[in-house]
Amino acid sequence: MAPDKGGQAMAVGIFDSGLGGLTVLDAVARRLPDVPFVYFGDNAHAPYGVRTPDDIFNLTCAAVERLWAEGCDLVILACNTASAAALKRMQDTWVPPNKRVLGVFVPLIEALTERQWGDNSPPREVAVKHVALFATPATVASRAFQRELAFRAIGVDVEAQPCAGVVDAIEQGDELLAEALVRSHVESLKRRMPHPEAAILGCTHYPLMQRAFQEALGPGVKVFSQANLVAESLADYLQRRPEFRGAGTQSKFLTTGDPAYVSDKATQFLRRPIRFEAA
């Protein structure tokens, strides 16, 4: 790999409001072992899922600017809430032409609707008809998932469940509470849609509770989560746009929260040692 023009290390940035994006980071780092990644967790301001779109836009822009300062010209919003509530506005009004900010929604919807990257053909019928969406209140309120789905598929019935409290419980390291909340959110969803064929974990924190979701949903429900789908899609993007890949060797973890506390919780959930530094 050649250094970029300024000779500055250029890694890829991964952003989330907190710990959830680490599920995406793990998958992209496995898929692209030569690419250095800088992770930014805005733990001081998590959860985003109960904030207004303006607030989410401002916080996400500040975090992305910090990643640009680390030499990451390409930043992945590994946060559905930011992808749903802020990404389009960022791309339309704020991101300069020499930078890229990409979200985590589209790869998931392409997988669900059996499409290759960039297949913009008209919407068509797909195999799944009843889909349960689990996401934060802000993501559910944005209806971004339904909008992206409607571009690609017809006749899919989506029942969305805002999962209040789950991100908070995870950020606080309270696995028992997070599991109990997952069970109760799945029960509420099932009262409205008793037999979903597929379930989308539409928040990057939720794969940390994937077992609880699968158990509550039952073995017949296919659970889609984003990490591996985003990893494939990033590998594909970097192949098509190699100018966004540089020579940096510095992977690091930045947080707006207390680095010792956040490192502790990250190590607990990812089950490997992770050291955060102050952003």
Report yes or no: 151 and 122 within 8 Å, Cβ to Cβ.
Answer: no
Q: Could you say which DSSP state residue 97 is in? A: T
Nearer to ligand DGL, 156 or 166 (CB): 166
262 binds ligand DGL (CB under 6 A): no
The residue from 61, 72, 79, 163 that is catalytic is: 79
Is 79 a known active-site residue? yes
85 binds ligand DGL (CB under 6 A): no
3-state secondary structure of 274: coil
Q: CA 87 to CA 193: how far, in whole Å?
A: 30
Nearer to ligand DGL, 62 or 126 (CB): 62
Mention every residue, 6+ apart, whose C-beta is less than 8 A from residue 250: 9, 11, 36, 38
Interface region with ligand DGL, contact rule CB under 6 A, candidates 1-9, 76-84, 142-150, 157-165: 76-84
Q: How far is the CB of 50 from ligand DGL (least distance, A)?
A: 7
Is 203 a known active-site residue? yes
Interface region with ligand DGL, contact rule CB under 6 A, candidates 26-34, 45-53, 144-152, 246-254: 45-53
Angle of helix 21-31 relative to helix 259-270, nearest 10 degrees?
A: 70
- What's CA 73's distance to the chain center, in Å? 18
144 binds ligand DGL (CB under 6 A): no
Please, which contacts does 179-185 make with residues 24 or more away whose CB atoms are closer than 8 Å? 179/209, 179/212, 182/206, 182/209, 182/212, 182/213, 182/216, 183/212, 183/216, 185/134, 185/161
Q: How far is the CB of 34 from ligand DGL (least distance, A)?
A: 26
Q: Which of residues 196-235 bind ligand DGL (CB under 6 A)?
A: 203-205
Q: How far is the CB of 46 from ligand DGL (least distance, A)?
A: 4
47 binds ligand DGL (CB under 6 A): yes
Query: Interface with ligand DGL by CB under 6 A: which residues?
Result: 16-18, 20, 46-49, 79-81, 136, 139, 167, 203-205
